[in-house]
Amino acid sequence: EIRFSGLMRPRLNFLILLMKVFSGHTLTCHRAEYQIDNECCPMCPPGNRVKTDCTEFRSTSCLPCTEGTFMNEPTGLKLCFSCAHCDSGLKIKRSCTFISDTVCEPLEGFYCIDSTGDGCEAAQKHKQCQPGQYISQKGTASTDTVCSDCSEGTFSNGTFESCRPHTQCDSVNLQLVKAGTASTDAECGEHSSTHMILIWVLVSFLLICLFIVGFVVYSVKTKKCLTGKI
């Protein structure tokens, strides 16, 4: 049996206290453990949470995550994470399970502006091309629509993937009613009956004028001839 003198006992107590403090600061738990006070407790497996921490007499007690919550890795937490909800412009790609969170993806006509791994947290609607522009590059789940202006003599209402040439009314035996613009086609129409009547009136008027002029010239010449004979 080892006995310490009264002088050595305070020094020994101090040394023991120092070792306890030092060991508390250098406590390192294994990867599958978590620290609680001065203990290293086994973590709960994915899909579970801690119910009660371990003690020197018993191991960690775990509980499964409830509906709408998940835990995707070994944990020492006492609450599971809440499953994410897909925001506006997103839809569910993979539903939430007890061991994985919800994964979202853009709806048709939207593209992702905040991607995480193989999912998306925020989406924005594809840009709409203006009249006079065409869709030079269609939007995807990860990129926005690209628009370009139509060239002279072509048009688009903003939904075309290429500008279309204005209709040539003469080529289809019609008359131009309204000229085409960058956003609208030319408007053609049938030749109106009023237009044809006007043409016939003008032609008739010209013929009558020619007849009158010819008659006057003839009359003058005839009169001169008769006067000369007298």
- Selection from 61, 73, 70 nearest residue 102 by Cα: 70
| pTM strictly above 0.75 | no
Q: What is the distance between the alpha carbons of residues 110 and 144, in angstroms, rounded to a whole number?
A: 8
Q: How far is CA 132 from the centre of its chain?
A: 22
* Cα distance between the two ends of the chain: 184
Tens digit of each residue's pLDDT (9 = 90 or more) over 131-178: 999 999 999 999 999 999 999 999 999 999 999 999 999 888 898 999
Question: Tokens standing for 34?
Answer: 């978590």
Q: What is the pLDDT of residue 128?
A: 96
- Selection from 80, 78, 76 nearest residue 36 by Cα: 76
Question: Tokens standing for 118?
Answer: 């193989």
Low-confidence ranges of the chain (pLDDT < 50): 1-10, 12-13, 16-17, 21, 24
- Going along the chain from its start, the domains and CATH numbers come out as 28-82 (2.10.50.10), 86-95+103-125 (no CATH), 126-165+179-184 (2.10.50.10)
